[in-house]
Amino acid sequence: THNIRRLKRRCSAATHMASHAPAAPYKTGLASGFICFIISSMRPDILTPLFVPLGNIKGIGTKTGKLLDKLAGTKTIDALWHLPNNVIHRPLLNVNDCKIGEHATLKVSVMSHNPPNNPKGVYKVFVQDGRGASLCINFFRAYTSTINKNLPVGATVFVSGRMENFNAQRVMTHPDYIAKDAADIPEYEAVYPLTAGVTNKMMRHVAQDCLARCPDLPQWSDMAPPFKQALAQAHNPRSAIEATAVSPARQRLAYDEFLANQLALLLARRHMRRLPGIPVKGDGGLRAIVKNHLPFKLTAGQTAVLDEIYADQASSNRMIRLLQGDVGSGKTVVALLAALNAIEAGKQAVFMCPTDLLARQHHDTMTQLAGQHIKIGLLTGTQKPGDTDSFDLIVGTHALFQQQVQFKNLGLAVIDEQHRFGVYQRMRLTAKGLMPDLLLMTATPIPRSLALTTYGDMDISILDQKPLNRLPIVTKLIGADKIHELVDGVKRAVANGQKAYWVCPLVEDTEKSDLTAVKTRFETLSAEFPGKVGLVHGQMKPQQREAAMSDFVEGRTCILVCTTVIEVGVDVPSATIMVIEHAQRFGLAQLHQLRGRVGRGKLQSHCILLHSPPLSPIAGQRLMTIRDSCDGFAIAEKDLEMRGAGELLGTRQSGMQDFKVADIFLHRQLLHQANTDARRILKDDPLLKSKRGEALRNLLYLFDKDSAVSTISAG
Ligand code: ADP
Ligand code: MG
């Protein structure tokens, strides 16, 4: 994402330099991460002042310019998006009216200087306000000449800073301002996020300078306050509330950003739909056979999702569909049936998984279900199927993306647990010169708001219904000191033929102490259940891991001590107990995924979250959220609330949108409004030709959506 952003920035800079001639074609990552060649369109002249480099501002040298570049960006508009996050109020007061600990500006007369005895001591300047109340101004390591110049005895000056109390004496240490004229001290001072080398004063100067350059733009929305005023207010907050994300000005700007985001996504989507796809429509033969041999009946949800997928496949537009389904909702069989549709039509299909373990497991499942009728290959880091052309379906890991693997006749690519793949991997597949239909699957429910901003350009199918034979999993929080009782409980369950996962945290495979803890747990449990305990972790050889997994699946072991390698996809319906040690160390999404490994059969399943003190309030809240909800979407919403969008799912790396002003959680109402508005706008004015359309084009440029604008005219 970072690189793309840099690239984009460079591109906009390039377009700026050639602002009167169309710039050269460039590559840009569209929101969804698919490569598109786009001719940069021309930015209207009215916007030019906003794209002037910050280095041009008076009083900003090249050194500060570079720092600003890192902090805010290169252009005027970037500095305008760099908003204050606080405000200091400096009311003009008398000494005795000041509140201790708060800022104030005072009009004072300088009475006397009290220099220190040694260079490291405090230099004191005593002053008096109009009512004769005294104030001591302290300077540490002061430059005497500066003090003498700014605060000569007998002068009347304005000082501003934080009022303190020391031994009944009012004290101000290093005033923020000393000025002859009250007008030189802001009553309200915006406080900006800074970086070393950029002072708040500089940042305020830059912001004010940039505000002054902001042109009057035609209105694209009648929401109050108008755009330019909103920017000015956001940079000049008059109260603590006004410096927060929920001030009217900030809300207006957030709406604008969402609107630009939603318009760009809709435009990109419209553009991509124009790309030719391969119409795929099988005769249903293979699907009928496989469906008849399934050990279960498809749920209504699965059937409905399949209908959507088949319709996409049959269409001459390319399918780009995200299938979201909570853990255990049965996505695998849906993907298999979609693949069979392509295969019936004489095409190949690939099924990509994030890990070797999953690739093998899916390969097994699919071979069991369809292996008699089609040729299924396995392609992992350690195993190559040879000639890929001879297979109908290839199941594999990211090795599938490697350059040397070629497909002749690819009709469908399924990407399972898609959030684990970066945008770049997705791009590599499409860059192979193929335009296969894409079915992206994720078991990590994405809150609707996130999905809207990131996948707005995809069709989304949701499997919200689990197979009917499931009982809800019972989740309990248990202190780690109760582990003996827990082991007794597991013993009873195992005696009844049930199986248990026992998960220990292992954040990085290099964390030695964690690995020791996993092995120790394996040993203590082995002592309780001789010969019945298996061990799986990321540092084992794939074959060893494989063997341990099949021992567990086939019942030779009944407890599997493991790390989060089993987090995604693993399917062992006879496992009914999930113990998670140090549960407080896991994120919400991860806990939910882990829990989803049980509850897959007809028996009642339990998830035990072991935790040990001290538990931070936020960790406690997380554990209670998991205990009280089994709904992946609700949990994801809570996660978003507690962590903020950026951290969720590691969105920053996974190519999800991040915003300059808007907060996906705090402003979610506005997001939905922007979504509705964007749809209506493009319906009424598809080429953005009206007056408002023109104004909206400006908006798109303001948020770096140049490529979206160019798709409009590309026709
Ligand atoms: P996920 O959506 O997490 O990938 P899976 O595809 O692994 O879920 O399915 C979970 C389990 O549910 C598997 O054991 C699968 O065989 C079973 N399953 C799938 N569909 C149905 C259904 N319609 N009825 C009953 N069981 C089903
Ligand atoms: Mg799955």
The secondary structure of 607-622 as a DSSP string is: EEEEE-S---HHHHHH
Q: Does the beta carbon of 632 lie inside 6 Å of ligand 1?
A: no
Tell me if 452 sits within 8 A of 675, measured CB to CB: yes
pLDDT at residue 647 greater than cutoff 50:
no
pLDDT at residue 5 greater than cutoff 60:
no
Q: Does the beta carbon of 465 lie inside 6 Å of ligand 1?
A: no
* CA pair distance 164, 135, nearest whole angstrom: 10
Q: Does the beta carbon of 573 lie inside 6 Å of ligand 1?
A: yes
**Which neighbouring-strand residues pair with 501?**
560, 578
Nearest to 339 by CA among 389, 413, 406: 413
pLDDT at residue 511 greater than cutoff 70:
no
410 CB-side CA count, 13 A: 23
Per-residue confidence (pLDDT) for residue 457, from 0 to 100: 58
Per-residue confidence (pLDDT) for residue 319, from 0 to 100: 86
**H or E element that contains 486:** helix 483-495
Strand segments, DSSP code E, in 386-518 are: 393-396, 410-415, 437-442, 459-463, 474-479, 499-503
Q: Does the beta carbon of 330 lie inside 6 Å of ligand 1?
A: yes
Per-residue confidence (pLDDT) for residue 509, from 0 to 100: 47
Q: How far is CA 151 from CA 160, 493, 530, 629, in A?
A: 13, 82, 83, 64
Higher pLDDT, 631 or 284: 284
Per-residue confidence (pLDDT) for residue 72, from 0 to 100: 87
Residue 56 is encoded by which pair of tokens? Answer: 């041009």
* CA pair distance 422, 419, nearest whole angstrom: 7
pLDDT at residue 136 greater than cutoff 60:
yes
Give 36-51 as a DSSP string: EEEPPPPPPGGGGGGG
Which residue lies with its CA nearest to atom 9 of ligand 1? Answer: 330
* CA pair distance 272, 157, nearest whole angstrom: 65
Report the range of poorest mean pLDDT among 158-172, 239-253, 445-459, 526-540: 445-459
* CA pair distance 130, 44, nearest whole angstrom: 56
* CA pair distance 374, 386, nearest whole angstrom: 17
Higher pLDDT, 15 or 287: 287
**H or E element that contains 580:** strand 575-580
Nearest to 390 by CA among 372, 404, 376: 376
Pocket of ligand 1, candidates 329, 439, 469: which has the most ligand atoms within 8 Å of its Cβ, to mutate? 329
**Averaged pLDDT for residues 358-376:** 92
Nearest to 140 by CA among 165, 167, 118: 118
Higher pLDDT, 276 or 499: 499
Beta-carbon contacts of residue 473 (< 8 Å; ≥ 6 apart) = 578, 595, 598, 599, 605, 606, 607, 630
Report the range of poorest mean pLDDT among 34-38, 129-133, 472-476, 623-627: 34-38
Smallest-distance ligand from the CA of 571: 1
**Averaged pLDDT for residues 61-86:** 89
Q: Does the beta carbon of 709 lie inside 6 Å of ligand 1?
A: no
Q: Does the beta carbon of 435 lie inside 6 Å of ligand 1?
A: no
Residues with CB under 5 A from ligand 2 (ion): 569
Per-residue confidence (pLDDT) for residue 285, from 0 to 100: 95
Highest mean pLDDT among 226-240, 560-574, 602-616: 226-240
Beta-carbon contacts of residue 554 (< 8 Å; ≥ 6 apart) = none
Per-residue confidence (pLDDT) for residue 429, from 0 to 100: 52
**Averaged pLDDT for residues 85-112:** 95
Residue 595 is encoded by which pair of tokens? Answer: 């829990």
pLDDT at residue 174 greater than cutoff 80:
yes
* CA pair distance 88, 85, nearest whole angstrom: 11
Smallest-distance ligand from the CA of 326: 1
Which residue lies with its CA nearest to atom 24 of ligand 1? Answer: 467
Q: Rg of the chain over CA atoms, in angstroms? A: 31
**Averaged pLDDT for residues 216-223:** 95
pLDDT at residue 430 greater than cutoff 60:
no
**Structure confidence at residue 178 as a pLDDT band (50, 70, 90):** very high
Q: Does the beta carbon of 247 lie inside 6 Å of ligand 1?
A: no
Q: Does the beta carbon of 414 lie inside 6 Å of ligand 1?
A: no
Q: Does the beta carbon of 571 lie inside 6 Å of ligand 1?
A: yes
Per-residue confidence (pLDDT) for residue 644, from 0 to 100: 56
Higher pLDDT, 461 or 380: 461
* CA pair distance 80, 61, nearest whole angstrom: 19
Alpha helices in 557-667 (DSSP H): 588-595, 617-628, 632-643
Smallest-distance ligand from the CA of 597: 1
Per-residue confidence (pLDDT) for residue 385, from 0 to 100: 65
The Å distance, Cα 639 to ligand 2 centre, comes to 21
What are 495-507's pLDDT values in tens digits?
Answer: 999 999 999 987 5
Verdict on whether the full-model pTM lies above 0.85: no
Could you tell me whether strands 169-173 and 134-140 are parallel, antiparallel, or unpaired per DSSP bridges? parallel
Per-residue confidence (pLDDT) for residue 26, from 0 to 100: 30
**Averaged pLDDT for residues 137-141:** 91
Nearest to 81 by CA among 184, 206, 187, 173: 206
**Structure confidence at residue 272 as a pLDDT band (50, 70, 90):** low
Higher pLDDT, 622 or 24: 622
**Averaged pLDDT for residues 460-482:** 86
The Å distance, Cα 417 to ligand 2 centre, comes to 7
Q: Does the beta carbon of 299 lie inside 6 Å of ligand 1?
A: yes
**Averaged pLDDT for residues 575-585:** 93
Give the chain's mean pLDDT. Answer: 83
Q: How far is CA 550 from CA 553, 557, 570, 571, 572, in A?
A: 5, 9, 11, 11, 10
The Å distance, Cα 330 to ligand 2 centre, comes to 7
**Structure confidence at residue 479 as a pLDDT band (50, 70, 90):** very high
Q: What percent of the chain has pLDDT over 90?
A: 49
Higher pLDDT, 122 or 328: 122
Per-residue confidence (pLDDT) for residue 12, from 0 to 100: 33
Residue 152 is encoded by which pair of tokens? Answer: 């000569």
Q: Does the beta carbon of 175 lie inside 6 Å of ligand 1?
A: no
**DSSP assignment, residue 189?**
E
81 CB-side CA count, 13 A: 21
* CA pair distance 394, 349, nearest whole angstrom: 7
Q: Report the nearest atom of ligand 1 relative to the CA of 302.
A: 23
**DSSP assignment, residue 470?**
P
Residue 503 is encoded by which pair of tokens? Answer: 């998960």
* CA pair distance 361, 569, nearest whole angstrom: 9
Highest mean pLDDT among 29-38, 157-166, 387-396, 616-625: 157-166
The Å distance, Cα 593 to ligand 2 centre, comes to 10
Per-residue confidence (pLDDT) for residue 665, from 0 to 100: 75
* CA pair distance 569, 353, nearest whole angstrom: 9
| Residues constituting the chain | 715
Residue 74 is encoded by which pair of tokens? Answer: 């290169």
Report the range of poorest mean pLDDT among 168-182, 297-311, 405-419, 464-478: 405-419
The Å distance, Cα 650 to ligand 2 centre, comes to 20
Q: Report the nearest atom of ligand 1 relative to the CA of 334.
A: 6
**Structure confidence at residue 641 as a pLDDT band (50, 70, 90):** confident
**Structure confidence at residue 56 as a pLDDT band (50, 70, 90):** confident
Residue 246 is encoded by which pair of tokens? Answer: 């929920």
Per-residue confidence (pLDDT) for residue 459, from 0 to 100: 81
The Å distance, Cα 584 to ligand 2 centre, comes to 25
